């Protein structure tokens, strides 16, 4: 299971067997959350949103894959954040951000609060301030049907605990590592938090994910 908390951008176990097959890293759609339709009567919101999404799309991928910014004033202000996975190229980051924006505008065109998850990136915007807040109220969950050997699962839990400890200490709040499971092949793990939260909140959030 891959469990993405709103402020925990990525924390997951990825199980892949060493069978002499190359598995390409694909950018998969993981989830979407929209508030109830509530901006249809405010033309200023649409204008500000377009400007915000342009900023996130154009500048975010070139800013080490992370950008938080605001557009508008007073009641018309919109808060926006984008972040790409720590090992994704600027080109793939840009492509993923554009995909996220397209999904948001298509599926949440009348919403003021939107979150979109892809494998490579995360997009969020809201008419309410959320920067630096560890929000545990929502998640995007991907269920996996493949099950691993019990001995590997036991090692993986310890392995991912170490990954989760290391990630908050890194400049990008991202860490990836490899677990050699012997005859069962290799396993890969990654952990990442959005860079607007503190290292303490990042650690607590990742620990929470490992306990779910």
How much is the pLDDT for 20?
Answer: 37
Q: d(Cα 153, Cα 20) in Å, to the nearest integer? A: 22
Question: Which residues make beta-bridge pairs with 139?
Answer: 5
pLDDT score of 8 more than 50: no
Q: Out of 130-139, 145-154, 173-182, give the one with best mean pLDDT.
A: 173-182
Give burial (CB, 10 Å; 0-12/13-18/19+) of 43: exposed
**Token pair recorded at residue 89:** 């190229």
Reported as a pLDDT band with limits 50, 70 and 90, residue 38 is: confident
Which fold does the domain 29-131 belong to in CATH?
A: Killer Toxin P4; Chain A (3.30.430)
pLDDT score of 14 more than 80: no
pLDDT score of 138 more than 80: no
- pLDDT average, residue stretch 54-74: 96
Q: Are 10 and 181 in contact (CB under 8 A)?
A: no
Q: d(Cα 134, Cα 10) in Å, to the nearest integer? A: 14
**Token pair recorded at residue 194:** 């959005």
Q: What is the pLDDT of residues 174-210, one digit of tens each?
A: 999 988 888 888 888 889 999 999 999 999 988 888 8
- pLDDT average, residue stretch 118-138: 88
Least confident stretch, 12-21, 77-86, 140-149, 195-204: 12-21
Q: d(Cα 36, Cα 65) in Å, to the nearest integer? A: 29
Least confident stretch, 18-22, 105-109, 159-163: 18-22
List of residues 6+ apart from 22 with CB closer than 8 A: none
Q: d(Cα 96, Cα 119) in Å, to the nearest integer? A: 9
**Token pair recorded at residue 123:** 């997009």
Helical spans, DSSP H, in the chain: 43-59, 90-107, 150-166, 199-211
How much is the pLDDT for 152?
Answer: 76
Instruction: For the chain, give every domain's residue range.
Output: 2-23+141-211, 29-131
């Amino acid at each position: 299971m891959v469990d993405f908390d709103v402020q925990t951008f990525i924390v997951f176990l990825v199980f892949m067997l060493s069978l002499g097959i190359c598995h390409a890293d694909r950018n998969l759609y993981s989830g979407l959350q929209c508030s109830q339709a509530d901006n249809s009567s405010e033309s200023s919101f649409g204008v500000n949103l377009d400007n915000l999404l342009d900023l996130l799309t154009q500048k975010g991928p070139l800013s080490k894959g992370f950008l938080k910014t605001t557009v508008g004033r007073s009641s018309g202000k919109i808060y926006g954040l984008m972040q790409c996975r720590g090992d994704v190229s600027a080109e793939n980051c840009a492509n993923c951000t554009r995909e996220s924006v397209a999904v948001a505008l298509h599926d949440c065109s009348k919403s003021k609060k939107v979150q979109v998850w892809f494998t490579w990136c995360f997009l969020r915007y809201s008419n309410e301030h959320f920067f630096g807040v560890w929000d545990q109220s929502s998640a995007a969950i991907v269920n996996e049907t493949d099950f691993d050997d019990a001995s590997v699962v036991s090692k993986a839990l310890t392995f991912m605990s170490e990954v989760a400890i290391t990630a908050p200490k890194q400049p990008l709040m991202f860490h990836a590592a490899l677990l050699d499971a012997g005859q069962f092949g290799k396993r890969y793990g990654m952990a990442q938090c959005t860079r607007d939260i503190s290292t303490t909140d990042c650690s607590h959030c990742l620990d929470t994910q490992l306990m779910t």
